[in-house]
Amino acid sequence: MPAYKDNKTGKWFCKFYYTDWQGNNRQKWKRGFATKKEALAFEREFLEKQSANPDMTFQSLYELYMEDMTARLKQSTILTKKHICENHILPFFGKKPINEIKASDVRRWQNQLMNSPNGYSKTYLKTINNQLSCIINYAKRFYDLNTNPCGQAGSMGQAKAEEMDYWTYDEYITFREGIKDKPLAYICFQVLYWTGMREGELLALTAADIDLVAKQIDINKTYQRLNGQDIITPPKTKKSKRKVPIPDFLCQELQSYMDTRYMLSPNERLFPATKHFLSHEMERGSKKTGVKRIRIHDIRHSHASLLINQGCDALILADRLGHEKVSTTLNTYSHLFPHKQQELVTNLEQLAANVPVTPTQEPPMGNPLLDTLEKASGKVIPMPQRKAI
């Protein structure tokens, strides 16, 4: 593993051969190292990465992982993973060989994040921890790493927020008054509150998705702004593709809004706004009205709360929100359902109280099945046939 010094620049470089994934022998050059040690370290790391040995550094594993995942995941997901890894994982584990990472190392890393002056939320800490575990599991599956120290170290954070934030109906109506001076902001928040759709689903809507005759909105895509470009992709899950019925007053407001859009194309974005715009309007409306500020996504929770208080069951709510499983709906909004249990008991008591007391007497001769058929058909079956049956 020789390294060479360039007499003209005073920098070091390495030159070596390796076997690529197709079995071809190739030469690799790399210049610009300040020391011989750095040049040799690059060569060693490159060769370990090519052979995919479990003693490669975490940095090399991360690069292999991202190269593989880029072809399989949405661009937005890749960017999220990249941000988490480069800001919270690589600074600690990047130079460490993956087969030397111990549970004690993971615990020290967790403690650093939990005691960070940035004050990360428990749900975000959980997300960071899951990403580290995911990458090391990738090494176990494809590069013969024996164990995942994350399992031994235990997790940090929690999967769900301790308390869900949402607006009551009165709070939303008050907030709405504070943004009425901007028609785009007003109609965006109206659609969000009365449909419960996700922010990206709202911003991806086109005129063709609004059916004012059937009084429903067809949700079939989502919008994101990535690297300065508008990106339209399929929605979050298969179940996210859905048709959401809307009330008459929202149909009328959407019609009025669309009438103001000059030569609106059916496939043109109906709401030419960004997530930053909605966040800014949330801040403006909250300050103006004194209503507590919540996240844009919490408007979705506000819609769910409204429906639950109106007696909507979990199955219908899951379908409207586009949840993949009803269990997701129940787990997310379980704290909003308990009072419905008491309402159910009250209804059962009222039902039982209205049932007349049956007098004690000899039951008439007959066949219960035929009695039921008589009631359904309106015909009387002769008694001899009853005995035959």
- Write down all domains in the chain, each with its CATH number in brackets: 3-153 (1.10.150.130), 169-336 (1.10.443.10)
Secondary structure letter of residue 86 according to DSSP: I
Neighbour order of strands in the sheet with 242-245:
210-211, 216-219, 242-245
Query: Phi and psi dihedrals of 206, rounded to 5?
Result: -120, 170
Element (H, E) at 306: helix 298-309
CA distances from residue 50 to 2, 64, 281 in whole angstroms, order as listed: 18, 10, 50
Please give the pLDDT value at position 341: 62
- C-alpha 80 chain-centroid distance: 12
Cβ-contact 47, 28 below 8 angstroms: no
Please give the pLDDT value at position 178: 96
The long-range contacts involving 218-222, CB below 8 angstroms and separated by at least 24 positions, are: 218/243, 219/243, 219/244, 219/322, 222/198
Query: Phi and psi dihedrals of 246, rounded to 5?
Result: -130, 150
Task: Give the alpha-carbon dihedral of 290, 296, 302, 307, to 10 degrees.
Answer: 140
The radius of gyration of the chain from alpha carbons, rounded to an integer in Å, stands at 31
Instruction: Look at the pTM and tell me if it is higher than 0.85.
Output: no
Tokens of 307: 């429906």
Pairing between β-strand 210-211 and β-strand 216-219 as defined by DSSP bridges? antiparallel
Please give the pLDDT value at position 161: 62
Count of C-beta atoms within a 10 Å radius of residue 81: 20
Please give the pLDDT value at position 345: 72
**Residue with token string 């859009």:** 261
What averages of pLDDT result for each successive group of 10 residues across the chain (389 residues)?
82 80 72 87 73 74 92 86 95 91 94 92 92 93 84 87 81 96 97 96 96 96 85 86 94 95 91 94 97 94 90 88 86 70 72 69 51 48 44
